[in-house]
Amino acid sequence: MVSLLKRKKSENQNEKQQDNDKQQKLKEAKKKEKQEKQKAKSEAKSKKKKSKSDKKKDVEKRGSRRFRLRNEKKLAKERQLKSLEGTEYSPSTGIISTASIMKSGNRYGTIFKVINNYGMNRNQKLGWAVNIIPEISVEGVKGYLLSTSKPFSQKEQSHYFKNVIPDTEETYEKNDIGNAQSHHDDTLRKQRLADLADASVLDGNRNLALDARFFVLIVGDNPDAIQEQIRKLDKIYGKRISGIKLMSVAGTQETMFRRALQAIDGEDDRDYSMMSSIYSGFDHALRRGLNDRNGLPIGVLSDSHTRGQAFMNLDESFRRRILIAGHSESSVRGYDSQKNSAPSLWGQMVANHAMMNGNRTFHLVLNGHRYYGDRDNFACPPSLNKYLAYVNLAEGGLNPIQPFGDNDASIQDKVNTFNNLKDKLYQILYLASDRQLGYDKQDVLEKLDKFYEANKMWDINPYDNPKRLKMGGITDPETVPTFGDFVRILRTSRTKIKKDMTSTESEKNSAKRIHQTVVNALTSYDHLFNKTTTLPTRIDESKLQWFYDVSDITTLNIREAQFVNVFDYCTHQAKRNDIVMIHGVDKISIETMQIIQNSIEMLSERGVRIAYCFDRIGSGEAKHQIPRADIFNTDGIIYTDLEQQFDYTILGTMSKYEVIQYQNKVKQTLNEELESALIRSEPAQYQVRRPADLTSNIVNPAEFIV
């Protein structure tokens, strides 16, 4: 009983403790709830405060953006106004295009595609296409003809002639049989078939196919003036070149303009396809006028649509090499063609223009060309003569044995100089022997080696003993041996070989020929080949034109030998931008041109310009015992590409045979009209072509003053 009471008392105490714990937890929960409410209230106040601040910032931000946009619009408007203030020649804005008019700066323009109705203008004469160039008669308006062309690739051309053209021919043949709507349609189909057949033949002859397209651009101060000019052009085209139309589609102005300025690209970009020989009427004969800045008058553009005076900058257009050629009847108006070589007069014009710019010319004369200050013969007064120097090399003045190289040159340059020197001396002996030493070249070169070594001017090991090489810088020509000294070497060699029991008859004969050749040359031409040099080893800088004349030497081989001698001299005297001009290249044999080929290349590498003046274009059908140079057989010697490697060419009229050769060299088959133009009986006519800017025109008559 007592224990039971104790348990009850203990249970009551436990329950009381639990109640206290609950009340404590309840108080803590209420306290926590109160704290959370206070925290939430505080965060709400803070958030409200922040919201007001952000709102204020947003308002400020929107105000700033609005200001910036207003400012940008203002600046854009200013830029637009400024861009619209472009000039006539250089608008500073892009193109603003409408349906039929484009605007750029303060100028307006419209562009048309040139369309030629098939069958029209089929038999026009050479140069007819220049009539497409818009003739402008409205004030403030200008017109331009834009053209582009592109050859087919080899793969593309092969595909067309194997697949496309046969299918096209088959279609036209079927139409020709039964579907002709009229006699006119029937004629056109026959013409198309004939054109395709001609193209196939030309393709078989490796003639290139190409694409071409043409546009006419009219620009002016206002759209009304442009429309007035277009109205007049339609009448002009209708009367002069029926079948030509200007086509434009509304809304395509900018597209057409961009297309006119871009290269032809892909099958969908073609307007006209033709063979290159057909296109040559556009490409070869008349491409642009001739009105150079700082140019000199050279004559009248006879076949140009402008038909005005031609002005050509002969010096600044001349960078590396030029070619001038004519024939015995070629002339320049105002000069006697019997006394003056027309190609040499052109060359003299080039030299005078170079002299105006302070550049020097070395004339190597084989054709008798003479120039000096004399009012009776030329336009220049006698005061000009103080800038000219004339040397008659028929009287001698150059020791062939003397080297004229640079004493400060590298060892390799001295080796090259010595090798060229030996080639020159062999060629002189070969020519002096009347070309009888053809099989003795190696023997001659070996004896020259020993001769220069014996005179302490050369060493068999040049790289080991460079101080023994004397290939230039000789101040006293009297110290240089001559051919007379060389004879002693040859005599000793001949005697030695004759006494040697092991020597063959061939060796004995060779030694005899070489020795006898030099002896004979010295007997007849001692003044040319056995005298010390009297020409200056350093050029007088006050002289801007030097004439080295070998034309008074009547024996052809000896004249050629003396030319080789003086060419070597000039090779070492000429400096960068100087001109070496050969008058009468056709009087030099192909053999000699091959000998001087290395020297020509050396001159070109040093920046010396070379001018070739031929008194004939081709050698004709006649065969010469000793082939002489012409503009065709020097392929591989003075050029490898007649069209591209000369800075400009000036060619007189040609014979029919020469035109055939010319077509082979330029790799074009010229049409009948162009052939006819080149073989006209016009002694004062010249074709001027300059690949750098595609100049190609005919000057007739050539008329200038020298």
DSSP string, 570-611: HHHH--TT-EEEEE-GGGSBHHHHHHTHHHHHHHHHTT-EEE
Which whole number is the average pLDDT over 637-651?
A: 94
pLDDT above 90 coverage of the chain, percent: 46
Give burial (CB, 10 Å; 0-12/13-18/19+) of 330. Answer: buried
Which whole number is the average pLDDT over 473-493?
A: 92
Q: Which residue has the higher pLDDT, 575 or 175?
A: 575
Which pLDDT score, from 0 to 100, does residue 600 have? Answer: 95
Which pLDDT score, from 0 to 100, does residue 7 have? Answer: 43
Amino acid identity, residue 554?
T
Instruction: Identify the residue whose tokens are 């090798």.
Output: 419
- pLDDT of 265 higher than 90: no
Which whole number is the average pLDDT over 273-294?
A: 68
Which pLDDT score, from 0 to 100, does residue 446 have? Answer: 93
Residue 220, H or E segment: strand 209-220
> Which letter does DSSP use for residue 208 in this model?
P
- pLDDT of 506 higher than 70: yes
Q: Can you read off the two tokens belonging to residue 180? A: 């002709």
Separation CA 685–CA 697 (nearest Å): 11
Which pLDDT score, from 0 to 100, does residue 579 have? Answer: 98
Lowest mean pLDDT among 44-48, 113-117, 683-687: 44-48
- pLDDT of 56 higher than 60: no
Q: Which residue has the higher pLDDT, 42 or 464?
A: 464
- Give me the helices (H) in 84-161, please: 154-159
- pLDDT of 445 higher than 90: yes
Largest CA distance in the chain: 177
Strand pairing class (102-104; 107-116): antiparallel
SS3 content of the chain, % helix, strand, coil (to 5): 45, 15, 35
Tens of pLDDT along 315-342? 999 999 999 999 989 999 999 888 899 9
Separation CA 175–CA 44 (nearest Å): 93
- pLDDT of 96 higher than 80: no
Which whole number is the average pLDDT over 463-475?
A: 92
Which pLDDT score, from 0 to 100, does residue 123 have? Answer: 65
- pLDDT of 447 higher than 60: yes
Q: Which residue has the higher pLDDT, 160 or 38?
A: 160
Across-strand partners of 628?
589
Which pLDDT score, from 0 to 100, does residue 55 have? Answer: 57
CB-based contact 515:487 (threshold 8 Å): yes
Q: Give buried/exposed letters for 482-494 (b at 16+ CB in 10 A, else e).
A: bbeebbebbeebb
- pLDDT of 229 higher than 50: yes
Amino acid identity, residue 107?
R
Angle in degrees, CA 27, 31, 34, rounded to 5: 140
pLDDT, averaged across the chain: 84
Lowest mean pLDDT among 75-79, 100-104, 488-492: 75-79
Q: Can you read off the two tokens belonging to residue 347? A: 């060359």
CB-based contact 205:265 (threshold 8 Å): no
- pLDDT of 88 higher than 70: no
Compute how many other C-beta atoms are within 10 angstroms of the C-beta atom of residue 705. 13
